[in-house]
Amino acid sequence: MRNERIIIIGAGPCGLSAGLALQEKGCDPLLIEKNNIVHSIQHYPLHQTFFSSSEKLEIGGYPFPSIERKPKRHEALVYYRHVAQRSGLRIQSYEKVEKVQDARGSFSVFTRTKDGQECRYEAEKIIVATGYYDNPNKMHIPGEDLSHVFHYFKESHPFFQKRVTVIGGKNSAVDAALALEKAGAEVTVLYRGSEFSPAVKPWILPDFYSLVRHRKISMIYEAEVQHITPAEVVYAQNGQTFRVEADFVFAMTGYHPDHSFLRNMGVEVEPETGRPVHDYHTMETNKEGIFIAGVIAAGNDANEIFIENGRHHGERIAQAIVRG
């Protein structure tokens, strides 16, 4: 068993930012990450361009140079690796935190490494910065778990000259549809809304609408997907049932935080919003000694907190811990 003063669960941008803020205050936190650092960004499509400019993604005062004003996925990966290396943060990757238990004035943290080894730590403070990208929103329909159905989009090349249905109406769905069409796929987009979400990046919609007008992408609104077969997607629209042929399906339906992980620590979660109960000024939850950082603080609304504002949570947490 190892004793630590502060353990940060998650080494995404907001977890790293919290670690840097604590480091600046003279603390030496341990970050435990079940994959590798900024795993959610590594999951992004290969061509992904960020919504924000590079300076709004900076953490710990480290400059983020990029070729264009809005950096791409690979530039962000390089930047955050550089920060982790330069800062000397203690990061244990490929180690999953399985549970955290109250230990009368401290916390017992139980983990498992990638080779199956079980480890235990004692910590005075816990910071949960686990994000939400590992938990896709399921549609809970027959066929969703078939092997040709995906909740993540990585690259378009494998789908050249294939019939691909994209389900969803936010950034990830539009990005996937554009990339798939460019690679020569026959693309159909199904969305249950009557128009796209206002959160969609405005500079990508003109290209999308142009492709729809020229019938290079088939766009179907108010489509409620009913089930998926090995060859089709079945949906309802205006009381009628329709089918679209599909070799592959991308269900880009969003993601959510792991509420059960927090609840098992004793953190209360608002039932309607999925928002963990916490003090906005300190980011401390109702469970004394447990803090949250990043998008997990937004609950079910993943469009409320991004790297740009979540990176500042670490400063609030560091000040609260140092004040004691």
293-318 mean pLDDT? 89
Q: Where exactly are the structural domains of the chain?
A: 2-135+255-323, 149-251
- 3-state SS assignment for residue 15: helix
3-class DSSP string for 108-168: EEEEEECCCCEEEEEEEEEEECCCCCCCECCCCCCCCCCCCEECCCCCCHHHCCCEEEEEC
92-119 mean pLDDT? 96
Residue 302 has pLDDT above 80, yes or no: no
Of the given ranges (44-53, 142-151, 276-285), which has the lowest mean pLDDT?
44-53
Using CB atoms within 10 A of its CB, is residue 72 exposed (0-12), middle (13-18) or buried (19+)? middle
Instruction: Please name the fold of domain 2-135+255-323.
Output: FAD/NAD(P)-binding domain (3.50.50)
Amino acid residing at 155: E
pLDDT tens per residue, range 183-198: 999 999 999 999 887 8
Bigger pLDDT: 242 vs 131:
242
214-218 mean pLDDT? 97
pTM: 0.90
Instruction: Please name the fold of domain 149-251.
Output: FAD/NAD(P)-binding domain (3.50.50)
Residue 134 has pLDDT above 90, yes or no: no
* Average pLDDT over the chain, rounded to an integer: 94
**pLDDT of 200:** 82
**pLDDT of 219:** 97
* Confidence bin at 17 (pLDDT 50/70/90): very high
Equal CATH topology for 2-135+255-323 and 149-251: yes
